[in-house]
C-alpha cells in the first residue's frame, strides 16, 4: 500500500488532473438531473402561483340556514302599516355558519396539500353618493388587520370599519366620519324589496399590497375602484367600491351574508412526486362536498389541477431532455479528456508496466497493476463529485430558482453510475494500449507510433456517418421545431464529425507544411511542423478542444438567440416598460396622459387589437405622438422606434375644430330630404371637453324635410372649451336613415367665448367619415362654399358622418413583415384593409413594415389612436380594456397624478416581469443549463490542455535538450513550441467555431427555443458573430497562454543535463 501511495504521490499532478476531470464529470452528471428536478419543482411552484389562488385553493361558502327574518320595528308597532326590519344575525348564527364552512374544508383529503383555513364573513350592499350608486362589500376576515397596512385602529366593535384611503379621499371624508351601506332585501309580501341601511364609523384606513395573495384568496371580496368613477356610458354594471373591513359583529344582515372558509394550496407540501396524490385528494374533497345542499353554496367553477399538472409534466419532460442533451457533450468531453490523460499517464508508467511484466506478473496482475492507480483516483472522484454536485446544485438552485426541495432522483443515481462505469472503462481502455504492448517494445526507450487500426478507421467513419445522418434527418424533417433528444444532440454530432474531418485535414496539412518549411522558411516553423508530423501527442487534444469550442460557441450563441427572443417577446407582449390595464375609455385615458405628461416622455394611451383577429384586422392603436419615447422597441425588429413613430404619424397636423359655451347653434338651409324610414333626420355632434377628455354626444335637433331650420343643442362641460370629433346625420335615436336629398349647413356657432372656426366655406375642410354603408361609397357628397357646407345625401341606409379633413381617410399603418394585407380598391396603391377600434375594418395607408411590433408581435399592425378615435370614437365605448403605456424611469408622482384623474391603476404588467417569467420557463432553464455546460466544457478543455501540457513536459524537455545540444537557440525552440500549439490547437478552435456555425445555421432553427405563440415575434436565428468570435477569442487567448507558459517551462528544463538524467534512467 505504501508503494501504491508513493506512486500516487509521485504522479500527483497527473492524478490531480484525472481527479479534477473525474470530479467535473461526476458533478455535471449528478448536478444536472438534480437541477432539472429542482427546476421542475420550481416550475410547479411557479405555475401554481401564477394561477389565481381561487383556482388552486379550496373554498366553500354558506348562507344563513333560515330564510330572511323580518320583525316589526317595536317603535312603530301598532301604528297601521308598520315597517319591518331585518332581524340581525346573532353571534351564534355567525359562529355556526363559520364552523360549518370550516368543517367542510378540513376533511382528511383537504388537510394534506392545503394550508390551514381562513374564515370570513361577507356582506354585500350599496354605497350611494349623489346620483351614483356603487356596490360595496362589508368584509370580516380572520386576522385581516395583521395582513393589511392599517392606519388607525382595527375594528373591534359593532359598526366600526376600515376604509380604502383613496375612497376616503374621493368622498372627502376622514377618520371618525360615518358611512352608510344600504343592503337590499325582502320586505315582505307587499314590499318585495326594501332598503336596510347600516351605518359604520370609520376608524381608519387599510391598504392591501396584493388582494390576490394566498391570504386574501379572493380579490373580488376586497377589490374596487376607490376613485368611485361613474360607470362607463352604456354599462349596466355598477362600479365596485373597495370593501369596508369590519368587525365580525358588524356583519349582521341575515338575508345575504355569506360565511366562508378558504385554504390556499400548500406549495411546500405539493411537489412533483405528490402531484398525482394531490389530484386524487382534490377529487376526494370535491366529492365530499358535492352532495351538500343549501345553505352550502357550491362553487361555480370546479377546481382542477389537471391542466396545471399536465403543463408542469410537459415542462419537466422538456427540461429533462434539454438538460440531458446539454450535459451529454460535457460528459463525453470529460471522458475523452480523461481517456487522453489516463493514456498519457499510462505512457508515463510504461516503464513500470514493463517492469511488472519483466518480474513475471501474469496478464491479469499487470492489468490490475496498471489500472489500480487511475481506478483508485476515479473511485475517489465519486463521493467528492457527488458531494460537490449536491452542494453546487443547491447553491445554483438557490440563486437561480429560490428554495426548492432536495430530491435524489433516479436519473441522478443512474447518471452517477453510468459516468463512474464509463470513466473506469475509459481508464481501462486507455491503459490497455500499454498493457498489450510486447515486453521488448515496452522496455525499449523509444515509443513507436502505432498505425491507425481498421477498428479506429471504422469508428471514425461511423462517427462521421452518424453526424451526417443526424443533420440530414433534422434538415429533412417535416417538423418546424422540435426538442427531440436526437435533435438536441445534433450539435454534438456535428462537432464530432467535424473533429474527425479536422484530424484528417490536420495530418495532411502538417505534412504539406513540413515539406514547405523544410525547403524554405524559418527554423521554428520547421521544428513545429516536423513535430506535428512525427509526434501525435498534441493531436489527442484536437478532438476535445474542437468539441469544447463548438459546444461552447453553440451553447452561448443558442442561449443568446433564445434570450434575445425572450426579450423581444416580452417587449412585444407588453408593449412598454410597464402597462396598466384599465377600463377607462380610450379618449379619456389619452386626455389624461396628455394632461399629466404634456411632453409625452412617460405615458401613452393605447388600445390592443380586437380579440380573435389576424393580419390586417389585428391592429393596435397607439398615441403616435409619443410612441418612440414610451413604447417598447427591440432592435431585432428592424427600423427604430423613432422611424416607426414617423410612419405612424398622420401627414399634416390634426387640427380639430374647437369651441366653447353651453349651446351650439346650427343654421340649416335648402333642406330637401325624402325617405321611407326614420324621418325626420337628426343632427348630432360628437365632441370632447377639454376639461376631462370624455367623449360626449349631443343632439342638436331634428331637421324638417324641406326648408330651413336653426337648431340649438346643449353641450355639456364645454365652458372651458371642447373639440369636435364628428357631425352625424341620422335617423331618430342615432339610428340609420335612408333619407336622400340635400341640406346645407349654413353656419355653426357656439355661445361661449370661442364660437369656433367651423370652416364651412373651406372646400377642403370636411369629408365624409367612415364607416360607409354596404356599397362602400360615401353616403354624402360635400360641396363647401360661401353659402356653407352643401351636403348631397345618397339615401343608402346609414348614419351620415362628417369629419374634418385633417384626419386622413386612410391613416398610416405600420405592419409586420408577415402580416397579410388586402389592398382596398378605389384608393392609392398602398391603401390596405386595416382595422380601427374594436377591429372595425377600415382603409389604411401602409407606411412601413417591421419584423415585429409592440402589442401585436409578429402579426398585425399599429396605427394612430388619435386618428382612430376621431374616425371611430363612437365605437370606442365598447372597448373593455385600455392600455396605459408607461416608459421606463417614469417617476411615481406621474402615476399618482394619473390615479388622481380617476384612472384605476391596479392591474399592471411590466416588461421585466414578463421577461422574468419567460426566463423561468422550462425552455429558458434548459438553455441556461446549455450555456453553463458550454462554459464548463471550455473550462474542462482548458484543464485538459494544461494537464496534457504538464504531462508532456518531461519528454518535450528531453526533445528540446537534444535540439539545444545541436545548437538550436532557445528563442527558436520557444517559438517552435508556441507555433506548434497555436497551429494545431488554433485549427481545432477554428474547426470548432466552424462546427458551431454549421450547427447554428443547420440545427438551431429546428430546435425549440421557447413556447412560441401564434403572435409572438419570430426568432431571429441569424448568427451572433460577436458571441462566436468572443468564444474563439477566449479559447485562443487561453491556448496561447498555455503555449507561452509551456514553451518557457520546456525550454528552461530542456538543458543538456536533462539528457544526462534521461540517459541515467
Partner 1 sequence: MTTSAVAPGWTGEASAHAGISVRCQNVVHIYTTVAGHDVVALRGVNLDIAPGEQVALLGPSGSGKSTLLGLFGGLQRASAGQVIVDGVDVSRIPEAELTRLRAGKVASLLQGARRNLLTYATAAGNVSFARRAMPAAEVRRLPSPRQLLEMLGLGELTDTPVNAMSGGEQQRVALAVTVSSGAGLLLADEPTSQLGHTDRDTMVDLIQRVNAELGTTVVIVTHDPDIAARIPRRVTIRNGRIGSEGVHGRDYAVIDQDGAVHLPEDWIQDYPPGSLVEFEETEDGFFVRRVDHAPGNPR
Q: List contacts with partner 1 (CB under 8 A).
A: 2-3, 6-7, 9-10, 351-352, 355-363, 365, 439-440, 443, 448, 1063-1065
DSSP string, 633-690: --GGGSS-HHHHHHHHSPSS-----EE-SSEEEEEEEEEEEE-SSSPSPEEEEEEEET
DSSP string, 292-312: --TTEE--SS----HHHHHHH
Of the pair 296, 443, the CB lying nearest partner 1 is at: 443
Min CB(354)–partner 1 separation in Å: 8
Min CB(353)–partner 1 separation in Å: 11
Of the pair 357, 909, the CB lying nearest partner 1 is at: 357
Residue 963: its H or E element? helix 922-965
Question: Looking up cell 365598447, which residue turns up?
Answer: 878
Min CB(1061)–partner 1 separation in Å: 10
Q: CA torsion angle for 114, 118, 119, 122 (degrees, to 10)?
A: -100
Radius of gyration of the chain (CA): 40
- Rounded Cα distance between 437 and 932, Å, is 41
Residue 793: its H or E element? strand 788-794
Min CB(360)–partner 1 separation in Å: 3
Min CB(10)–partner 1 separation in Å: 4
- Rounded Cα distance between 348 and 264, Å, is 65
Min CB(513)–partner 1 separation in Å: 22
Of the pair 350, 588, the CB lying nearest partner 1 is at: 350
Of the pair 395, 439, the CB lying nearest partner 1 is at: 439
Min CB(395)–partner 1 separation in Å: 38
Min CB(1)–partner 1 separation in Å: 10
Min CB(362)–partner 1 separation in Å: 6
Of the pair 363, 1029, the CB lying nearest partner 1 is at: 363
DSSP alpha helix (H) spans, 401-438: 410-435
Of the pair 478, 1063, the CB lying nearest partner 1 is at: 1063
Tell me the angle at which helices 485-519 and 542-574 cross, rounded to the nearest 10 degrees: 130
DSSP state of 751: S
Of the pair 11, 1024, the CB lying nearest partner 1 is at: 11
Of the pair 537, 670, the CB lying nearest partner 1 is at: 537
For residue 227, which of 313, 319, 132, 110 has the smallest C-alpha distance?
132
Of the pair 355, 782, the CB lying nearest partner 1 is at: 355
Contact between 860 and 816 under an 8 Å Cβ cutoff? The reply is: yes
Residue 707: CB atoms within 10 Å: 11
**Burial label, 266 (beta-carbon count in 10 A; 0-12, 13-18, 19+):** middle
Q: Which three cell numbers stand for residue 547?
A: 468539441
Residue 138: its H or E element? strand 132-141
Of the pair 210, 1063, the CB lying nearest partner 1 is at: 1063
- Rounded Cα distance between 949 and 930, Å, is 28
Min CB(951)–partner 1 separation in Å: 16
Q: Beta strand 160-163 with 658-659: parallel, antiparallel or unpaired?
A: unpaired
Contact between 812 and 844 under an 8 Å Cβ cutoff? The reply is: yes
Of the pair 9, 520, the CB lying nearest partner 1 is at: 9
Min CB(361)–partner 1 separation in Å: 5
Dihedral of alpha carbons 97, 102, 104, 105, sign: positive
- Rounded Cα distance between 819 and 796, Å, is 33
Min CB(1060)–partner 1 separation in Å: 10
Contact between 885 and 622 under an 8 Å Cβ cutoff? The reply is: yes
**Burial label, 443 (beta-carbon count in 10 A; 0-12, 13-18, 19+):** middle
Provide φ and ψ at 872, rounded to 5°.
-125, 30
Min CB(12)–partner 1 separation in Å: 10
Of the pair 348, 384, the CB lying nearest partner 1 is at: 348
- Rounded Cα distance between 431 and 344, Å, is 9
Min CB(20)–partner 1 separation in Å: 22
Tell me the angle at which helices 363-400 and 306-348 cross, rounded to the nearest 10 degrees: 140
Min CB(3)–partner 1 separation in Å: 4
DSSP state of 67: P
Of the pair 6, 157, the CB lying nearest partner 1 is at: 6
How far apart are the two ends of the chain, measured CA to CA in Å? 25
Compute the C-alpha angle 565/571/576, nearest 5°: 170
DSSP string, 894-955: HHHHHHHTT----EEEEHHHHHHHHHTSHHHHHHHHHHHHHHHHHHHHHHHHHHHHHHHHHH
Of the pair 530, 665, the CB lying nearest partner 1 is at: 530
Min CB(371)–partner 1 separation in Å: 15
Min CB(28)–partner 1 separation in Å: 33
Of the pair 441, 777, the CB lying nearest partner 1 is at: 441
Of the pair 18, 746, the CB lying nearest partner 1 is at: 18
Of the pair 9, 612, the CB lying nearest partner 1 is at: 9
Provide φ and ψ at 757, rounded to 5°.
-95, 100
Amino acid at each position: 500500500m505504501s508503494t501504491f501511495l508513493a506512486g500516487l504521490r509521485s504522479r500527483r499532478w497527473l492524478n490531480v488532473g484525472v481527479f479534477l476531470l473525474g470530479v467535473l464529470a461526476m458533478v455535471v452528471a449528478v448536478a444536472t438531473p438534480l437541477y432539472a428536478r429542482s427546476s421542475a419543482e420550481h416550475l410547479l411552484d411557479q405555475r401554481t402561483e401564477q394561477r389565481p389562488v381561487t383556482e388552486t385553493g379550496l373554498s366553500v361558502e354558506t348562507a344563513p340556514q333560515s330564510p330572511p327574518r323580518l320583525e316589526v320595528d317595536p317603535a312603530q308597532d301598532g301604528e297601521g302599516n308598520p315597517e319591518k326590519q331585518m332581524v340581525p344575525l346573532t353571534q351564534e348564527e355567525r359562529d355556526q355558519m363559520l364552523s360549518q364552512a370550516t368543517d367542510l374544508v378540513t376533511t382528511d383529503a383537504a388537510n394534506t396539500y392545503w394550508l390551514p383555513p381562513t374564515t370570513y364573513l361577507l356582506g354585500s350592499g350599496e354605497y350611494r353618493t349623489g346620483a351614483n350608486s356603487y356596490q360595496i362589500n362589508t368584509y370580516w376576515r380572520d386576522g385581516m388587520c395583521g395582513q393589511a397596512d392599517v392606519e388607525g385602529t382595527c375594528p373591534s366593535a359593532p359598526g366600526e370599519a376600515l376604509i380604502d384611503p383613496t375612497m376616503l379621499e374621493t368622498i372627502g371624508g376622514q377618520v371618525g366620519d360615518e358611512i352608510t351601506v344600504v343592503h337590499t332585501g325582502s320586505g315582505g309580501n307587499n314590499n318585495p324589496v326594501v332598503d336596510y341601511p347600516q351605518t359604520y364609523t370609520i376608524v381608519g384606513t387599510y391598504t392591501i399590497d396584493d388582494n390576490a395573495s394566498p391570504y386574501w384568496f379572493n380579490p373580488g371580496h376586497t377589490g374596487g375602484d376607490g376613485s368611485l368613477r361613474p360607470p362607463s356610458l352604456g354599462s349596466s354594471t355598477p362600479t365596485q367600491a373597495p370593501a369596508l373591513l369590519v368587525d365580525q359583529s358588524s356583519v349582521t344582515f341575515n338575508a345575504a351574508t355569506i360565511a366562508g372558509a378558504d385554504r390556499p394550496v400548500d406549495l411546500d407540501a405539493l411537489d412533483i412526486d405528490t402531484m398525482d396524490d394531490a389530484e386524487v385528494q382534490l377529487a376526494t374533497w370535491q366529492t365530499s362536498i358535492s352532495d351538500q345542499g343549501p345553505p352550502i353554496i357550491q362553487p361555480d367553477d370546479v377546481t382542477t389541477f389537471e391542466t396545471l399538472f399536465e403543463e408542469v409534466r410537459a415542462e419537466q419532460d422538456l427540461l429533462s431532455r434539454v438538460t440531458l442533451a446539454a450535459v451529454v457533450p460535457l460528459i463525453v468531453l470529460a471522458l475523452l479528456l480523461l481517456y487522453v490523460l489516463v493514456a498519457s499517464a499510462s505512457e508515463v508508467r510504461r516503464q513500470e508496466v514493463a517492469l511488472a511484466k519483466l518480474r513475471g506478473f501474469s496478464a491479469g496482475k499487470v492489468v490490475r497493476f496498471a489500472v489500480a492507480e487511475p481506478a483508485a483516483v476515479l473511485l475517489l472522484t465519486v463521493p467528492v463529485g457527488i458531494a460537490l454536485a449536491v452542494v453546487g446544485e443547491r447553491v445554483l438552485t438557490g440563486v437561480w430558482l429560490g428554495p426548492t426541495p432536495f430530491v435524489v432522483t433516479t436519473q441522478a443515481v443512474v447518471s452517477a453510475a453510468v459516468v463512474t462505469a464509463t470513466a473506469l472503462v475509459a481508464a481501462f481502455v486507455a491503459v490497455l494500449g500499454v498493457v498489450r504492448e510486447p515486453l521488448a517494445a515496452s522496455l525499449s526507450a523509444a515509443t513507436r507510433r502505432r498505425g491507425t487500426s481498421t477498428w479506429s478507421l471504422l469508428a471514425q467513419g461511423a462517427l462521421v456517418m452518424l453526424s451526417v445522418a443526424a443533420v440530414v434527418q433534422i434538415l429533412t424533417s417535416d417538423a418546424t421545431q422540435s426538442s427531440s433528444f436526437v435533435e438536441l444532440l445534433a450539435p454534438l454530432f456535428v462537432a464530432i464529425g467535424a473533429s474527425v474531418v479536422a484530424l484528417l485535414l490536420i495530418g495532411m496539412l502538417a505534412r504539406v507544411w513540413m515539406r514547405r518549411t523544410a525547403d524554405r522558411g524559418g527554423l521554428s516553423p520547421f521544428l513545429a511542423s516536423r513535430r506535428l508530423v512525427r509526434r501525435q501527442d498534441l493531436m489527442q487534444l484536437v478532438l476535445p478542444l474542437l468539441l469544447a469550442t463548438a459546444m461552447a460557441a453553440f451553447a452561448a450563441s443558442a442561449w443568446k438567440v433564445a434570450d434575445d427572443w425572450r426579450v423581444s417577446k416580452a417587449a412585444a407582449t407588453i408593449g412598454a416598460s410597464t402597462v396598466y390595464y384599465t377600463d377607462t375609455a380610450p379618449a379619456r385615458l389619452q386626455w389624461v396622459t396628455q394632461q399629466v405628461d404634456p411632453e409625452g416622455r412617460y405615458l401613452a394611451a393605447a388600445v390592443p387589437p380586437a380579440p380573435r383577429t389576424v393580419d390586417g384586422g389585428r391592429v393596435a392603436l397607439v398615441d403616435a405622438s409619443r410612441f418612440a419615447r414610451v413604447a417598447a422597441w427591440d432592435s431585432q425588429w428592424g427600423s427604430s422606434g423613432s422611424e416607426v413613430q414617423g410612419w405612424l404619424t398622420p401627414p399634416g397636423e390634426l387640427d380639430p375644430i374647437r369651441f366653447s359655451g353651453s349651446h351650439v347653434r346650427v343654421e340649416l338651409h335648402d333642406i330637401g330630404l325624402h325617405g321611407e324610414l326614420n324621418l325626420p333626420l337628426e343632427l348630432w355632434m360628437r365632441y370632447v371637453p377639454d376639461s376631462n377628455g370624455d367623449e360626449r354626444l349631443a343632439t342638436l335637433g331634428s331637421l324638417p324635410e324641406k326648408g330651413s331650420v336653426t337648431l340649438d343643442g346643449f353641450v355639456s362641460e364645454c365652458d372651458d372649451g371642447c373639440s369636435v370629433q364628428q357631425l352625424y346625420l341620422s335617423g331618430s335615436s342615432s339610428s340609420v336613415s335612408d333619407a336622400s336629398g340635400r341640406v346645407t349647413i349654413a353656419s355653426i356657432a357656439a355661445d361661449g367665448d370661442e364660437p369656433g372656426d367651423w370652416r364651412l366655406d373651406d372646400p377642403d375642410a370636411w369629408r365624409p367619415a367612415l364607416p360607409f354603408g354596404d356599397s362602400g361609397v360615401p353616403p354624402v357628397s360635400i360641396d363647401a362654399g360661401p353659402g356653407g357646407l352643401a351636403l348631397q345625401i345618397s339615401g343608402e341606409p346609414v348614419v351620415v358622418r362628417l369629419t374634418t379633413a385633417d384626419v386622413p381617410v386612410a391613416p398610416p399603418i405600420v405592419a409586420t413583415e408577415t402580416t397579410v394585407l388586402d389592398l382596398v380598391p378605389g384608393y392609392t396603391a398602398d391603401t390596405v384593409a386595416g382595422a380601427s377600434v374594436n377591429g372595425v375594418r377600415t382603409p389604411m395607408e401602409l407606411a412601413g413594415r417591421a419584423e415585429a411590433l409592440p402589442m401585436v408581435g409578429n402579426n398585425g399592425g399599429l396605427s394612430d389612436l388619435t386618428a382612430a378615435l376621431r374616425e371611430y370614437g363612437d365605437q370606442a365605448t365598447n372597448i373593455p380594456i385600455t392600455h396605459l403605456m408607461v416608459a421606463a424611469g417614469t417617476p411615481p408622482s406621474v402615476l399618482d397624478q394619473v390615479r388622481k384623474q380617476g384612472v384605476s391603476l391596479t392591474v399592471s404588467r411590466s416588461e421585466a416581469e414578463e421577461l422574468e417569467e419567460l426566463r423561468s420557463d422550462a425552455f429558458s432553464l434548459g438553455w441556461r443549463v446549455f450555456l453553463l455546460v458550454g462554459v464548463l466544457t471550455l473550462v474542462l478543455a482548458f484543464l485538459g490542455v494544461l494537464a496534457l501540457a504538464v504531462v508532456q513536459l518531461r519528454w518535450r524537455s528531453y526533445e528540446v535538450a537534444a535540439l539545444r545540444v545541436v545548437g538550436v537557440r532557445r528563442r527558436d525552440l520557444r517559438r517552435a513550441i508556441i507555433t506548434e500549439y497555436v497551429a494545431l490547437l488554433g485549427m481545432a478552435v477554428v474547426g470548432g467555431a466552424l462546427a458551431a456555425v454549421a450547427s447554428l445555421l443547420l440545427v438551431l432553427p429546428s430546435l425549440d427555443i421557447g413556447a412560441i405563440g401564434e403572435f409572438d415575434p419570430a426568432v431571429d436565428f441569424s448568427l451572433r458573430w460577436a458571441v462566436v468570435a468572443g468564444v474563439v477569442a477566449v479559447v485562443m487567448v487561453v491556448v496561447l497562454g498555455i503555449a507561452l507558459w509551456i514553451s518557457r517551462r520546456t525550454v528552461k528544463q530542456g538543458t543538456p543535463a536533462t539528457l544526462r538524467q534521461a540517459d541515467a534512467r
